[in-house]
């Protein structure tokens, strides 16, 4: 969006404000499908669970990765008026519950929908057998997360060497083992992680086949990097690596799916905030804005991201610090943004803030999250 459009929306709706551009979401979805033609795209709802975003991707033909019952029901809202068979077909074909550890209450609620769910240990298998026996199961592998922004294999995934034993354990419990999954870590810029993971998955599939069970689904997780800065290698480069490994290792009858989150929504949102204070501290100009790391900029804390602030007004820039509106010393948005001399009530904006920002916003200090508006729905 243009600066003029952002300023106009801020004037109309006030600040703090997050503007989500649905045309950008559609472009990102189309890019993903174009460059990974064998891969079914399951949007990771956790990245941004705005109902309007889920609706846009549903209308575009996307599938969905959910990690909680509320996320599942958010997707279900889009299909609840379909005939029963169409509902069940959509759930089976286009939703995966990709959180390996689930409360028994969630499994009980999910069982009637017969979804795909992930697991990585015997305890989870016992819960699924008891509380969601109609679910299909997908075994999660632990794989290398080297260099990824957020590592996940320290929390989830079985070792490849124990994988087939866990597959056979599921079969002995009468469960339907549909596939394997892995996750190379969020915002993965080390493409070798994918190469290693594909080889590990292929080896597990081979051993499983030799021991009597054919795996038909491979979920390659998320980790597809958003272009936050010039150092992030272009998505087509990663796609070439992934396509080559898929074609080399997996026959055409293996269904490949993926769980992009930030890749689809990060670049689709821009935040606009207002300067509410300024000071000079240790010789550095400091600005205070009406947003914070407990709100739209929570990705700084939870997601290890940086969102450089920019000014609408011109002028000579200098290195400045920017703090949020809360009373907490942790609430530092940046110590090194290049900004001109701003005054109270001037506006600033940050791009590429559509993933894991609003999604993890809080009400700390009593400040509500920024208003979210949607354009080009």
- Mean pLDDT, residues 92-116: 96
CATH class of 3-18+266-375: mainly beta
Q: What is the pLDDT confidence band of residue 303, given thresholds at 50, 70 and 90?
A: confident
Tell me the fold of 22-265.
TIM Barrel (3.20.20)
Give the global pTM: 0.94
Place of tokens 């490994």: 245
**327 catalytically annotated:** yes
- Mean pLDDT, residues 29-45: 97
Surface-to-core class of residue 368, CB atoms within 10 Å of its CB (0-12 exposed, 13-18 middle, 19+ buried): exposed
Q: How far apart are CA 291 and CA 357, in angstroms?
A: 11
Q: At residue 166, does pLDDT exceed 70?
A: yes
- Mean pLDDT, residues 252-257: 96
- Mean pLDDT, residues 161-175: 96
Q: At residue 294, does pLDDT exceed 90?
A: yes
Kindly provide the b/e burial profile for residues 235-254, where b requires at least 16 CB atoms within 10 angstroms of the residue's own CB: beebbeebeebbeebbeeeb
- Where in the chain are the domains? 3-18+266-375, 22-265
Least confident of 185-189, 254-258, 327-331: 185-189
Average pLDDT, the chain: 94
pLDDT of residue 153: 65
Q: What is the pLDDT confidence band of residue 278, given thresholds at 50, 70 and 90?
A: very high
Q: How far apart are CA 61 and CA 16, in angstroms?
A: 32
Among residues 158, 188, 320, 327, the one annotated as catalytic is 327
- Mean pLDDT, residues 103-120: 96
- Mean pLDDT, residues 217-222: 93
Q: At residue 71, does pLDDT exceed 60?
A: yes
pLDDT of residue 149: 57
- Mean pLDDT, residues 288-292: 97
């Amino acid at each position: 969006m243009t600066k003029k459009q952002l300023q106009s929306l801020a004037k109309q709706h006030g600040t703090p404000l997050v503007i989500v551009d649905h045309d950008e979401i559609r472009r990102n979805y189309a890019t993903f499908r174009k460059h990974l033609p064998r891969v079914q795209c399951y949007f990771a709802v956790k990245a941004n669970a705005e109902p309007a975003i889920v609706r846009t991707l549903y209308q575009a033909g996307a599938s969905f990765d959910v990690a909680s019952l509320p996320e599942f029901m958010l997707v279900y809202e889009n299909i609840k008026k379909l005939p029963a068979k169409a509902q069940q077909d959509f759930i089976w074909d286009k939703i995966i519950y990709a959180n390996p550890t689930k409360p028994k209450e969630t499994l009980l609620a999910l069982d009637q929908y017969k979804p795909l769910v992930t697991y990585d240990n015997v305890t989870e298998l016992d819960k699924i057998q008891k509380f969601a026996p109609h679910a299909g199961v997908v075994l999660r592998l632990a794989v290398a997360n080297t260099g990824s922004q957020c590592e996940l294999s320290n929390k989830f995934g079985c070792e490849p060497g124990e994988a087939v034993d866990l597959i056979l354990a599921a079969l002995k419990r009468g469960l339907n083992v549909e596939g394997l999954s892995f996750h190379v870590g969020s915002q993965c810029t080390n493409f070798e992680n994918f190469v290693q993971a594909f080889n590990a998955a292929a080896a597990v599939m081979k051993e499983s086949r030799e021991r009597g069970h054919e795996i038909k689904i491979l979920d390659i997780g998320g980790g597809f990097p958003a272009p936050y800065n010039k150092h992030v290698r272009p998505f087509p480069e990663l796609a070439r690596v992934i396509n080559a490994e898929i074609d080399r290792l997996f026959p055409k009858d293996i269904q490949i799916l993926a769980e992009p989150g930030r890749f689809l929504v990060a670049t689709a949102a821009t935040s606009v905030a207002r300067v509410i204070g300024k000071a000079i501290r240790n010789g550095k100009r400091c600005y205070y804005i009406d947003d914070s790391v407990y709100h739209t900029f929570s990705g700084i804390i939870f997601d290890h991201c940086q969102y450089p602030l920019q000014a609408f007004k011109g002028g000579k820039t200098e290195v400045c610090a920017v703090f949020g509106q809360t009373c907490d010393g942790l609430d530092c948005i940046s110590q090194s943004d290049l900004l001109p001399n701003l005054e109270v009530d001037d506006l600033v904006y940050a791009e590429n803030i559509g993933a894991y920002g609003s999604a993890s916003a809080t009400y700390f200090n009593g400040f509500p999250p920024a208003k979210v508006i949607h354009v080009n729905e």
